[in-house]
Structure 1
Amino acid sequence: MVRAVVLEAPYKVVLRDFDLPRIGPHEALLRVEMVSVCGSDPGLYEGKDILGTRYPLIPGHEVVGHIAAIGREAARLYGVKEGDRVTVEPYVLCKNCRYCLTGYYQLCTDLTCYGMNVSCADPPHLWGAYGEYMYIAPNSRLHKVAPEVPAEAACLSSVVGNGLRWIGTKAQVRPGESVVVIGPGPQGLATVIAAREAGADPLVVMGLAKDEMRLELARQFGADHVINVEEREPVGTVAELTAGEMADVVVACTGSPSALQLGLELLKPLGRYVIIGLNGGL
């Protein structure tokens, strides 16, 4: 028997025992080393529907751990063996829809997400990382983690991976291009790290007065300028920092409609705009 934290319903958390699942040829079992709290986890606790939430569930999807058991085909496909240290991407893919087949698997029409939209009521139960072990389903994506990487850093691999994708794959930032990041939350800070590595110049981060600590972190992570938009007029400030040209790239790491509109005003002609999500209507 193993133990896991179960969110039985909004605002109702219990500790429960489960049997370890039997692992088939395409499956694996992860012994959890550490799991971090994603920004979506409090929403699950409060009852928000995230990707079709189904209670009861075991939360947790930003995880690092060691392979405790793995099927023959899974070992071959993932290139890992028992004892290997890995991190697990949150999504389990159908690999049949047009989005999976064209590389946009985050838009999968039959998407499963660890710790979010699979109930723990039925076997194999352990669909989240808030426990001693986590079940790894077929069509998962695993990445080896070196022993010297701190667990705290490994847990953030999916967050940092988002930043790398938005800056590298989507915006295709080149050295010397100006980048503005709106929103210095975890996703925004990951984007700052990626933009710094890509050679953004200048790299500007915007936030509110309540983001003072996060804006300071953005500076530590390589931002050339941080702007409290409640104290400084953002459009004019970016114009000044870019000699009137405005930004080559804007990444909006907040779902605020007003922030998304601001991003349009910060772009130069033919600039690239990455929007990671939207809360509410425009």
Structure 2
Amino acid sequence: ATAVGIEIRTSTDRTAWTLVGKVWPNGASWTDQYTGTSNGNLWAPDCTYLNLYYAASSFGSQKSAIFLAKSSTGMPGSFTHVGLVTSISSANNYNAIDPNLLIDGSNWLLSLGSFWTGIKSMDINSSTGLLRDSSVTSLAQRTANNGAIEASSIFKNGNFYYLFTSWDNCCQGTSSTYNIRVGRSTSPTGGFVDQAGVSLLNGGGTLVLGTHDNIIGPGGQDVMLDGDGPILVYRTFETKHPTVGPSVLRYHPLPYYCHYFPLLLSGLCL
């Protein structure tokens, strides 16, 4: 989401959500120097148990940065600003937004990126939550539609890592063309291919979910492992609910897609 302070909502059933406050009720002015803005907007928060990664940027630019906050409860007023994770400028060939953390045993990996040269990953020190070093690894890239790929998330199941991304254009209401793509690899740091065997570094990506019926531009996805299995969570616009708000949160059990992509998602199928 793009808004001031990062709103916090809670739910006991994944359907009914209650707004309980904000991470930064007084704003996060420390981000302004990295974005050249002062509107207070923070982007694409990714909250892993007790750790929160979030981005600040100016739309369509590489004036971007990713920050880390920590909390013992996850509730409003409990978060502490830890510091800057990474920042970039026009001197870089990628963008530092849409952070998503993968915890793979003792290895922590942060995926990020939007447009430019696509999706990257950086190693995270599990003790600090900050970068282990400055190395950047490429995971996926497109040349079509001005390189429109972003919102990465990596989910591990069995021997495979699944890299989900959003393609094309978000945030345009019922004119949005967002769609969810996926590829898999035996390593979280590269080698991702789609169901046809095309490398995600060469524009590959199997379509998981696109515009259909009254569902417009699904994307911004993540995979949550809940008590009943892996859940694909995403935002969309809906023509039958034009007054609900800027977008609608939806989810599906991930094995739902096994019928459509038996080879790609075989490790997720029951």
Rg comparison, structure with higher value: 1
Larger fraction in strand: 2
TM-score (norm 1): 0.30
TM-score (norm 2): 0.31
Report 1 or 2 for greater relative contact order, CA contacts < 8 Å, sequence distance ≥ 6: 1
